[in-house]
Structure 1
């Protein structure tokens, strides 16, 4: 039965429910949810944000009104549902919670692909690079002192909640929405499917990355890797803040974690998904995060942090938007075409180095 037929059936059931107390429409089963964060202008037919390529290229032609979200939901007959949350942690958390509690959808077996653009650490990635995260760490839940007032021995004015100094949380109080470890076996499976995908290069990002002499990874053509994501509604930039992000990632997620991407929403999305998992609405073992570098989190040699913060994204970030779709869609299509297997068995792979 097609999705349109399911929607019509749900409407007919709802009408019948008026004369049959207690009857409710059967929820629509979802195989994969693609979570994007921002759109520019309209959701189709103009300059693309993170949502548009999924709608247009996957023919997500069925629209669902979504009053508690920023945009309507889109779906196709194959079982792919897409949402655009709106930017920032609060938008992401509220939009995903609204979707997860929506009685129109059965999300119990759905895989979640959170995918969008980010600022990349030039020590690890080049522009257009796609990184699958094993860890997401929130970068807003902390103490902050103005840099002009920090003790001389401190590397920066950011320290954990309840701590006495940076990089110390032995005696600190905290909250449970800072570190989100993901299903490593699923991450490694997704990486294995995509690691050899030739991420498209372009003249604009090739020219921009040449400024990063001394950063071997930054001057490479774009590639696919495994690397962790910092989630912060505060849009940080610069060598010193990138140093802090690397330290913070290891402090919160462990010595094997490696900060590669700075983004604005993922801890909000994962907070909502964790709560929905408690209510058995979704399965946290089926969640993936893929971020692609539209810009760098730190300046090149010879420039300062203010320049890095205000510089235009090369080609308006289009290469990263394209990479998020191209790399992410490999995994989406594998899950959908292999649904007979993956509906009840979460894929896994041997750990990647």
Structure 2
């Protein structure tokens, strides 16, 4: 592993390659690709979320990323696309986005932000290897919780809004308040545009994916091949697993979207991503409407019939990776890059006005 000083030294030398003009004018950015982690090195080994973007788009220039977990960013000076790895978890995401937006080297007021990362998937919604654009992000980490051994018999689970005392508190509390942000709706036209641009992409299937999904007898959506879909993501730092928790997540998504949302994927960072952009948007530094979230399914969030939640957790923990890990990493680039390239190469269309669904 390289030392921190070696990483920073290489990054600083790369930054100098932009020339002295970069010290006087902001580095132009049309799209920011946001990933959460990498495995090992950024290039040349097993790919995590970040590596495909660096090697394939490519993002050939390295720039220091002070105030972030990953230390460096990567940039394509022809497409004006910037890529970052925020670090896993909401704290890392909020810190990375805030540090980036406040960085005086960049003017991000017209930039699009595309979060492309892996996540779990509800087998009632879809299957591993799929790619899902999120219309809504639901906060799954902020609530009141009663211990399962003390839940009232009439309750579906032990979760209630932190602003209330019953699972279906009515009227529903505000989504945004001093008690916390519970739901974000991404720009509907932009989400539909991204989905329309990518919905017919054929995602690869393989024997491993087939074996994993065939275990989910009785779950028709889980047994289909991977595809590009639209569905909401629930975001929370606790890495939960199991059918009972999945039932809560489905209910929680419907509750906070007034019955309009559809639980699809699970992730850690998405609420923090939206919160950071929303707050910086209030200061006029970014446009929160220019944000997209693509989650690709590396694993099912609950066990198949005949297995316990603990067994599923053990199986996943002791395998080399989630059953759909490599497929999901590849799908994030395959699908996400279509949108990123369209935005970057037709900047004359998208700089001043958001895309609309075709």
- Give the TM-score taking structure 2 as reference length: 0.90
Aligned to 1:120: 121
Task: Provide the C-alpha distance between the structure 1 equivalents of 2:214 and 2:308, rounded to a whole number of angstroms.
Answer: 16
Residue 310 of structure 1 deviates from its aligned partner by: 2.9
Query: Does the 8 A contact of 1:136 with 1:228 survive in 2?
Result: yes
* Deviation (angstroms), 1:318: 0.5
Aligned to 1:130: 131
Which stretches in structure 1 are left out of the alignment for 5+ residues?
15-24
The answer on whether the counterparts of 2:91 and 2:272 sit within 8 Å (CA) in structure 1 is: yes
What residue is the counterpart of 2:251 in the other structure?
247
- Tell me what 1:189 maps to: 193
Q: Secondary structure at the match of 2:234?
A: strand
Alignment-derived partner of residue 41 in structure 1: 40
Distance change (3 Å), C-alpha of 1:73 and 1:187:
same
Comparing 315-324 with 113-122, which one deviates more in the overlay?
A: 315-324
Distance 1:316 1:258 in 2: 22
Partner of 2:21: 10
Would you say how many aligned residue pairs link Structure 1 and Structure 2? 336
Q: What corresponds to 1:225 in structure 2?
A: 229
Q: Residue in 2 aligned with 1:336?
A: 344
1:316 offset after TM fit, Å? 6.2
Distance across 1 between alignment mates of 2:136 and 2:323? 29
1:167 and 1:35 map into 2 onto residues whose CA distance is: 34
Q: Which residue of 2 aligns with 1:99?
A: 100
Matched, 1:317 2:321: no
Post-superposition CA distance 1:312-347 (Å, at most 9, x none): 244560000000110001111111121111111110
Answer yes or no: is the 8 Å Cα contact 2:200–2:228 preserved in 1: yes
Contact kept, 8 Å, 2:242 with 2:302, in 1: the verdict is yes
1:283 paired residue among 287, 312, 320: 287
For each residue in 1:98-120, what CA deviation from the matched residue of structure 2 results, as whole angstroms up to 9, or x when unmatched?
A: 00111101111111101110000
CA contact (8 A) 2:15 2:63 kept: no
Q: What is the TM-score normalised by the length of structure 1?
A: 0.91
3-state SS of 2:118 partner:
strand
The corresponding residue for 2:75 is: 75
Residue 309 of structure 1 and its aligned partner are, at CA, apart by 2.4
Q: CA deviation at 1:9?
A: 2.7
Once the two structures are superposed, what CA deviation does each residue of 1:63-103 show, in whole Å capped at 9, x if it has no partner? 11112001111101110100101011111111111001111
Contact 1:134/1:226 (<8 A) preserved: yes
Structure 1 CA distance for aligned equivalents of residues 209 and 21 of structure 2: 47
Deviates more, 1:80-89 or 1:156-165: 156-165
Considering only aligned residues, what root-mean-square deviation do their CA atoms show, in Å?
A: 1.7
CA distance in 1, matches of 2:119, 2:250: 15
- Does residue 293 (structure 1) correspond to residue 297 (structure 2)? The answer is yes
Residue of structure 2 in register with 1:22 after alignment? none
State which drifts further: 168-177 or 179-188. 168-177
1:162 alignment counterpart: 163
Which structure 2 segments of 5+ residues have no match?
1-13
